Chains A and B, each alone.
Chain A
Amino acid sequence: MELTRRDFIKLSGAGLGTAAIAKLGFTMPALAGTEPLRITKAKETNGVCSFCAVGCGTLVSNETGEHGQIVNVEGNPDCAINFGTLCSKGAAISQKTYIDGKPNKERLTKPLYRAPNSSSWKEISWDEAIDKIANRIKETRDANWIAEDDALDAAGNPTGGKVPALRTEAIGALGSAELSNEGSYLYQKFMRSLGVVYIEHHARL
């Protein structure tokens, strides 16, 4: 598209600044356009840092296009948690995906399974992984179910009676810093429905 001076003055602002350049005969080296310009296009996307429980807001810049690489990560100034700041780990979070511009080979993208007594891992499908986890939870829970406890008197001595317990102490639950409040609520609700009593969170800084 050829841009004439008339086109440009239409595009210029309401004040005199850029309009003056186009209209008043100033030399316009910046507008000469003799050299090809190398133009890079990118976009910013809101994200949340996944390294710890603080949940800092991030702005991730990636070049536009189908396989646009991440070119920058910075703290989101509009986020009331971190106001534009990031720690060194958060600032390097793109290395989860890319290291020196190349895909990070250490990043897991599929479930891995190591069979008992095996020394190697093999890829399995998500369906298979979820089935294995569900089966093991069921087996462990059934094998270690505590239906009732001894009833105690005020001094802590057994009365000879029983009280319902309905729990398992063989399973522990560790939450995730990447869960929202709502996600954490559902997670602990699910664990309690299984009778799990050792419910913790890894929100440690």
Chain B
Amino acid sequence: MSIVIESEELGVQGVRRAVKRYVEMYPEMTDVIEMYGAIMELQQETLGKVTCDVSLDAKMAEAKLSEGTPLIDPYELDIDAERFRALVFDIARIVDEKSPEGFPHRVEIEKWEGLEPGNVPVTRDLVIAGEELEIGVAWESSEDIKLVSNITWEALAPSYMKCGRMHESLIEQSLWQRGACPVCGTRPLMGVFRKEDGLWLLECALCHTRWNVQRARCPFCDEGEQGSLEYLYVGDDRSHRVQYCSACRSYVKTVDMRDSDLDAVLPLEDIATIRLDKVAAKEGLRPAGSRL
């Protein structure tokens, strides 16, 4: 079966419309949706300015996917250091201005050596690998360092999104079917059952490429037997699920779009469905691909 999935570009206006829609649906989460929406707007603006210097043809892509290798090595991608640095500052500003507790290290992060052009690859590698950043100032807690890592991740995203958009048409889905992104190898942010046919698509947490995995089989482990993949839902809301594997205990939240008129914007959906993360944690599950 040949399937090629191409993402629809949101653009700044698309982000604004999505934020408005999600705020209407989840008014109790207005503040956090609007803050993340502002970050998404920045990412969309940056997406039009960054470049991707990775060039692959269909044959090379097929060879990589067949041997289980993502199309790009996320640790080798060239990052525009100046643009990246500016985006980190902008995101830190948004977090500081739009969050109730603010971001107390906003000034300090502007002096952080990790954002100097020569250090950007190391910083990028640490963030993608989930390692703790080395920050040479007295931070309050490791949670603050984690927050810098989260901000840095969001600032890296446009470069990877650009590569994802350039290469997603090369992805022959039947050659992949794995739990990590076929473009950059990153774990999924969330999943969606496609409106047209219920195909299960996962969306990469970094480059936001969507790819197809089989419905009744765990994409995250080799168990792969019928019955290891289960799901749970809260109340009567069957359209928002936690898809989890009883063998490897990984989970990914998934939204069923078959009864919806509009496509889900998964980064916002991820925030709106945080209750499912809590339920999953209480069930002893861990997000797919997370390093705990």
Contact = CB atoms under 8 A, between A and B. Distances in A.
Q: Do A and B come from one complex?
A: yes
Given A17-B36, A20-B36, A40-B233, A77 B215 contact: yes
A3 to B, nearest CB: 5
* 7 closest cross-chain pairs (CB), A and B: A84-B197, A25-B101, A24-B99, A25-B100, A30-B275, A43-B230, A77-B199
Given A7-B281, A39-B232, A43-B230, 9 more contacts: A16-B153, A16-B154, A24-B102, A26-B99, A27-B100, A28-B274, A42-B232, A64-B230, A78-B199
B277 A11 contact: yes
A30 B240 CA distance: 14
B278 interface: yes
Interface string A43-87: 111100000000000010000100000001011111010011100
B234 A77 contact: no
B230 A41 contact: yes
A contact face: mostly helix, strand, loop, or mixed: mixed
B contact face: mostly helix, strand, loop, or mixed: mixed
A72 B235 CA distance: 16
A43 B216 CA distance: 8
A15 B292 contact: no
B198 interface: yes
Interface residues of B, number: 66
A39 B233 contact: yes
A84 to B, nearest CB: 3
Contacts of A37: 234-235, 275, 279
A89 interface: no
B29 interface: yes
Contacts of B274: 18, 21, 28, 30-31
